[in-house]
Amino acid sequence: MSDSPTDPLLALRRDLHRHPEPAWCEFYTTARIVEELDRIGVDDRYLGADALSVDDRMAVPDDATLDEWFQRALDAGADEDVLEHFEGGTTGAVAVLERGAGPTVGLRVDIDALPIEEADSDHDPAERGFRSENEGYMHACGHDAHATIGVGVLEAVKESDFSGTFKVFFQPAEERVGGGKAVAKGGHLDDVDYLFAVHVGLDHPTGEVVAGMGGFLAVSHLLAEFEGAPSHAGAEPNAGRNAVQAVGTAIQNLYAIPRHKDGATRVNAGRIGGGTTSNIVPAEAFVEGEVRGETTRLRDYMGEKAERVFHNAAEMHECEVELSTEGEAPSAESDQQLVDVVEDVAKHQPDVDHVLEHAALGGSEDATYLMQHVQKQGGLATYVGVGTDHPGGHHTATFDVDETSLDIGIDVLTDAVVETVERIP
C-alpha cells in the first residue's frame, strides 16, 4: 500500500481517524464504511437495526449525546439517507458476499473510538493532517485500522476464488463492551461456520502475527447511582443523607475485594461524580466502574462482591443505590484448527517476520460474545493479532498505527478466509 491518500483504503483509514466517534455514535464512521461497500459492491448490506439486536445494546448514551453526534456526522458531510438507519444509536453494519456453494465465513472488526484527547505534536496524524477533528475523542486503539482491514479483506475476498458466503461485521461500541452482545444476537451470525476477529498492535511490532490470541478477561461495566438527601452543611449537617460518603466508602472497599486463588481479577472505579456545591450535603453521586476475571466465573465473583459493597455503602449512609450493567463480555478461547490455518498462511506472507501461535491479550474484548455464539452452534473461531509499531501505548494520546501493517492484516486474513474453506470444508 502506497503512502499516499490516493489509495482508497489509506484515505479511508485517515478519514476515519479524523472522525473518531464513541460507542453507538459511530454515525459518520458507519456511513463512510457504507460508502466503501457501495464502491466495492456487495451482495447484501444490513445497516443499523437490521444488523444487530437493538435491545441487547449496552452502554447506549442518552438522547442528547446521540443527537449531538448525529448532527456532527451530518455537518461532516455524511449521507443523510444512510444516517437515518442509525438514528437512536443503532450504528454498525454487516456486509455479505454470496460466492456460491460452501461454508459461511465471518470477519468481525470494531469501529468505535475513545474519549481521549489526541496529541497535537510529535505525533504523525497531527503532522500529516489527519488528527482528530472531534476534540477530546481519538482513535487510540486502532479501530480505524480495523474498519479499514474489514473493508480491505472484503474487497480482496471478492476478487479471490473463494467459494461460499463471506460476511464482515462492522461492530460498534467495543470500547464499552456494549456492542458485542447485540451483534452476536443480531441473527447474521447464526449460519457462520468460521469466525475471525482481528486486532492490531497490542505491543506486537509490525511484521509479527499472532494466530490465536487468548487470555481475554471477562468483564462487566457497572454503574452505581447513589441517592440520598441534601441539607445545608453548616446549619443542618445531620439532616442530609450523604451520597458522597457512600461513594467514598464504596471506592475504598471495591479495590479491597479479596484476590482470588483461581486467577487474575480486576476492579476499577473509573469515573466518579457527585454533589452540587461545597456547602450542600451531597444528595447524589455515582461510580462508573468495572470488574474483570480471567474466567467468566472469576468476573462474576468480583461482580457479586462489588454489588455487596455498593449496597452496604449506600445503606451505611442511608442512601438508595441503583446498579446497572453498562457493558459485558465473557472470556473465550481461540480454536486450534483455525489457529493452525492462520499460523500457516501468515508464515507464507513475505512481510511477516515472525508468527506466534498464541499470545495473551490481558484485557477484555466483546468479540468473545461472537466467538462463543459461533462455537456454541458447532463452529470455530479465532482472534488474530496483527503487529504494528505503535509509538504510544494503546489508549494513550500518542497511539498511532504503522500504516504498512494494514496490508499485512488484509493479506493474512484474506488468505486465512480462503484457505479455511479449502482445508476445513
Q: Using a CB cutoff of 8 Å and minimum separation of 24, what contacts does 300-307 make?
A: 300/218, 301/260, 301/265, 302/257, 302/260, 302/265, 302/266, 302/267, 303/220, 303/222, 305/257, 305/258, 306/222, 306/254, 306/257, 306/267
Report 329-348 residues binding its own copies (CB under 8 A): none
SS3 322: strand
| Of positions 129, 159, 190, 276, contacts its own copies by CB under 8 A | 276
- Give the contacts of 22 (CB within 8 A, at least 6 positions apart): 61, 69, 112, 113, 114, 115, 137, 175, 176
Q: Is 422 annotated as a binding residue?
A: no
Query: How far is Cα 233 from Cα 224, in angstroms, rounded to an integer?
Result: 24
Is the CB of 96 or the CB of 250 nearer to its own copies? 250
Question: Quick check: 325 binds its own copies (CB under 8 A)?
Answer: no
Question: Quick check: 297 binds its own copies (CB under 8 A)?
Answer: no
Sign of CA dihedral 25, 28, 34, 37: negative
**Contact string (CB under 8 A) for its own copies, positions 146-185, x = contact:** -----------------------------xx---------
Q: Is 68 annotated as a binding residue?
A: no
Establish how many alpha carbons lie within 13 A of residue 28's alpha carbon, considering only the half-sphere containing its beta carbon: 23
Question: Quick check: 423 binds its own copies (CB under 8 A)?
Answer: no
Give the cell for residue 305.
Answer: 462482591
Shortest approach of its own copies to residue 388 CB, angstroms?
16
Is the CB of 312 or the CB of 336 nearer to its own copies? 312
Instruction: Kindly determine how many residues on this chain lie close enough to bind its own copies according to the rule CB under 8 A.
Output: 79
Q: Is 175 annotated as a binding residue?
A: yes
Is the CB of 257 or the CB of 386 nearer to its own copies? 257
> Are 381 and 338 spatial neighbours (Cβ–Cβ below 8 Å)?
yes
Report 211-270 residues binding its own copies (CB under 8 A): 217, 219, 221-222, 230, 232-240, 242, 244-245, 247-256, 258-262, 264-270
Backbone φ and ψ of 38, nearest 5°: -70, -35
Which residue type does 146 have?
H
| Of positions 289, 330, 379, 409, contacts its own copies by CB under 8 A | 289
Query: How far is Cα 132 from Cα 164, in angstroms, rounded to an integer?
Result: 39
End-to-end CA distance of the chain: 32
Report 85-124 residues binding its own copies (CB under 8 A): 114-116
**Contact string (CB under 8 A) for its own copies, positions 403-422, x = contact:** --------------------
Is the CB of 96 or the CB of 361 nearer to its own copies? 361
Shortest approach of its own copies to residue 146 CB, angstroms?
17
| Of positions 280, 323, 356, 424, contacts its own copies by CB under 8 A | 280
Report 16-75 residues binding its own copies (CB under 8 A): none
- Give the contacts of 308 (CB within 8 A, at least 6 positions apart): none
Name the segment binding its own copies (CB under 8 A); options: 158-166, 342-350, 373-381, 392-400.
392-400
| Binding-site annotation: residue ranges for Mn(2+) | 141, 143, 175, 199, 395
